[in-house]
Copies of this chain bind each other. A is one copy, B any other.
Amino acid sequence: MFEVNESLSPSQISAQAAQESRAEARRLRRPLRVALFGFGTVGSSVARILVESRPAGLELTHIFNRNVARKRVDWVPASVTWSEDADAVLAADVDIVVELAGGLDPAGGWVRRALGAGKSVVTANKKLIAFQGVELERLAASGGGHLKYGAAVAGGIPVIPGLEQGLAGDRIERIEGILNGTCNFILSKMEEGSEYAPVLAEAQAKGFAEADPTEDVGGFDARAKLAILMRLALRVSVNPEEIVPQPITAITAVDFSYARDLGCTIRQVARAERAGGKVAATVGPTLVALRSPLAWSRGTENMVIFTGHYGGDVVFSGHGAGGHPTAVAVVSDLLALAHGSRRVELPSTPAEVGAEFEVPHYIRFLVKDRPGIVADITGALAREHINIRAIVQTPGYPEHALPFVVTVEPCKSSVLKRALKSIPGKDYLLEEPLDLQILE
């Protein structure tokens, strides 16, 4: 079927074999053979769509999962091989490995082995792509397979295909996104008047939040997705760990009340911007104007806004997570492979996350009231040349635990932090001031 070239290494030979087999499959119109790694919520939705819609050019042949016996369902065709032996499935005659296990290990190993053998990989694994995407794409290119990860960011919303195929002609200058459905569920519920703890419990009961919600509420999930979008949209590859996320856990119902007084609400926003050779990137709870698209997204929805030099703002929104929406992205990637569609691969250059946004800030203090507090605080801000925009204190709160808010004109977060640290005689501060960026 193909000539063995003596100068090739065994893995190159295997890659060449896979490449020829794929080309052969297309020539013969043999469907591409698909192995699913992971049969959880997303994996079973992918299988469900493949079984129900029988897309031409694709055939589900293998399903791998640990303890596969308890996963087996009767609606999957009998021709599909169920297995708990990852090595055996990777060695089998499959053209595409769909990796839905998540995490760096062992998923990363499977993906590398599949790509090394010249197979194509479709994955929803944001962590793997955020941390190792550049290396894996190189591996795919050298093996002759393809790596597609449309499901890794914003689930069922075609943000990545839209970027690669429809916005490649622009020069994207800014990304603003609501990339984590769990945080959006919690914050949009809190907007209606609830406190954090009961809403988190509700999210956990509904399956929107994990038992340990740190990955989501701490901003780690969103920063991985932001790093992927930065590579594709801003064309800079960054170490995701350089983006220090601010958790949403410090937000209280009081903050939503003050935000509303300011014509805003609060969302977990991931954003990035190029500034000279560096890039600015943050993830955290942010005040967004009620009339901004970011305020429209409710429940587990995701939203991404790209600002292009030529095309201006483009907004995508929809269901960013959940089995079926994520499976739509996976199956769409599979169809693209079956149709011989190639990714529009745009080169990225390594960059440091070094710049800071200069934006207005919201600072909420919780104090035991006594005379002189405002003078202390405004004095500290003045020493760092930070201009105050407004001081807001609504009545109805107790004097022994009084929340009030200071908003300031655009300044760097690092300068503001220094100012807040320098407030003298902090005996009246019941907790660290909460500092949120305001997105205008």
Chain A interface (Cβ within 8 Å of chain B)? 45, 49, 53, 55, 150, 156-171, 293, 296, 308, 310-319, 324-325, 327-336, 339-345
Contact = CB atoms under 8 A, between A and B. Distances in A.
Nearest to A160: B166
A162 B343 CA distance: 13
A393 to B, nearest CB: 31
Nearest to A292: B296
A318 to B, nearest CB: 4
Given A310-B45, A325-B312, A328-B308, A166 B158 contact: yes
B156 A311 contact: yes
A314 B157 contact: yes
Given A311-B325, A332-B168, A342 B345 contact: no
A164 B310 CA distance: 23
15 contacts: A45-B310, A53-B171, A158-B163, A158-B167, A162-B162, A167-B328, A168-B331, A169-B327, A311-B319, A312-B324, A313-B318, A314-B317, A315-B318, A335-B344, A336-B344
Given A324-B310, A324-B311, A341-B343, A168 B318 contact: no
A169 B335 contact: yes
A49 B310 CA distance: 8
A342 B342 CA distance: 6
B315 A317 contact: yes
Nearest to A309: B324
Contacts of A49: 169, 310
A335 B158 contact: no
Contacts of A332: 165-170, 344
A71 to B, nearest CB: 20
A339 B313 CA distance: 25
Contact of A340 (B55, B324, B328, B342): B342
Contact of A168 (B168, B293, B311, B335): B335
A310 B55 CA distance: 15
A169 B342 contact: no
A15 to B, nearest CB: 19
A338 to B, nearest CB: 8
Given A168-B336, A314-B317, A332-B344, 11 more contacts: A45-B310, A161-B162, A161-B164, A162-B162, A162-B165, A165-B341, A166-B329, A168-B335, A169-B333, A308-B328, A311-B319
Contacts of A335: 168-169, 344
B166 A162 contact: yes
Nearest to A45: B310
B165 A165 contact: yes
A290 to B, nearest CB: 12
A314 B313 contact: no
Contact of A156 (B171, B308, B340): B308
Nearest to A343: B341
Contacts of A316: 162, 314-316
